[in-house]
Every structure is written in C-alpha cells, then in structure tokens.
C-alpha cells in the first residue's frame, strides 16, 4: 500500500514537471494527477498548449535607450518626424528588439507611410512580438489597419 502511494506521488511530481512547460502549469498538473489519477493528469498535460518560447533578455544600450525615450516624448507630442529619426537611430544602434520595430511601425503609420509601416510590423513579429491585440487596437496603427491589404497581411501571419 505504501509503495503504491509513493509511486502515485512520484508520478504526480513527474507530471508536474512536464506541466511546468505547458499552460496548465506545474501546480495544475500535480493536483489533477493527484486528485484524479496520474493517467488523467498525463492526458490533461498532453492536451494543454505548450508555453510560448521565452525571448532572451538583451542588454540595454544606454544611447539607444536615450533615443527611444526621446522618440517616445516626440511621439506623445505628435512630432512624428522627430520620433521617427530618433527611433531609426536607436534601431541602428540596437536592432534586435521587437517592441522597437512595433513602435516605428506606429510612427510610420502616423506619417501615412504604409510600406515602411508594414515592413517594420512584419519585422516586429519576426523578432517575437506577439501582442496581436495591440496590433489590432493600437491607435498608432489606425492608418495601417484601414489599408485594403492589411487583412491579408494579418491573415498571412503579418507577412507581406
């Protein structure tokens, strides 16, 4: 009897470890396995969606950050041309951040430059930007979303 309980708990711990890499989480996998059975827990863990990959944290370049801050201030002041120049410089210095490409896509959209806006929005998604609700609701992309090709762009995974 004791051996059976130990095996039951060990299986629940193993499933909790597997669940930690999925949306169900370690605690959810453990409790479902413990309360219902490790077999049911295994099934639930396997049908649970995997977690999205973590984006590596990139070191912050101080000069690029200063330019991004200036771009943000200019954007809020509706000085989109200055915001654009600052973001372009920041991206030259530190090009690998998805949020920066999303932000420059918004600036280009405000300037009604759909080609560059589409290009940077695509690049943002390629770099891991996954806040699709922002793409579909951000006022900065209003102009871009009104373009006839936007729907196909979105349906194609935000690719031209």
Same domain, 128 and 92: yes
Give CA 122 to chain center in angstroms.
13
Q: Give tens-digit pLDDT for 110-129.
A: 999 999 999 999 999 999 99
Supply the CATH number for residue 115's domain: 1.25.40.10
Residue 135 CB-half CA count within 13 A: 24
Decide if 160 is inside a domain. Answer: no
Is residue 53, in this structure, part of any structural domain at all? no
pLDDT, tens digit, 9 for 90 and up, residues 29-69: 999 999 999 999 999 999 999 888 776 666 678 999 999 99
Domain count, the chain: 2
Q: What is the pLDDT of residues 67-123, one digit of tens each?
A: 999 999 999 999 999 999 999 999 999 888 899 999 999 999 999 999 999 999 999
Alpha-carbon distance 44 to 52, whole Å? 18
Q: What does pTM read for this prediction?
A: 0.64
Q: Are residues 78 and 10 in the same domain?
A: no
* Domain that residue 39 falls in: 2-47
Q: How far apart are CA 103 and CA 111, in angstroms?
A: 13
């Amino acid at each position: 009897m004791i051996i059976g309980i130990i095996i039951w708990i060990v299986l629940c711990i193993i499933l909790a470890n597997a669940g930690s890499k999925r949306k169900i989480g370690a605690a959810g996998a453990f409790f479902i396995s413990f309360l219902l059975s490790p077999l049911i827990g295994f099934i639930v863990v396997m049908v649970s969606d995997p977690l999205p990959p973590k984006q590596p944290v990139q070191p912050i370049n101080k000069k690029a950050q200063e330019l991004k801050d200036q771009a943000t201030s200019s954007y809020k002041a509706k000085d989109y041309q200055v915001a654009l120049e600052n973001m372009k410089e920041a991206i030259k210095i530190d090009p690998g951040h998805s949020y920066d490409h999303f932000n420059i896509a918004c600036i280009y959209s405000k300037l009604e430059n759909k080609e560059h806006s589409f290009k940077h929005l695509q690049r943002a998604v390629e770099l891991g930007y996954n806040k699709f609700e922002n793409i579909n609701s951000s006022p900065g992309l209003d102009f871009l979303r009104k373009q006839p090709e936007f729907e196909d762009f979105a349906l194609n995974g935000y690719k031209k």
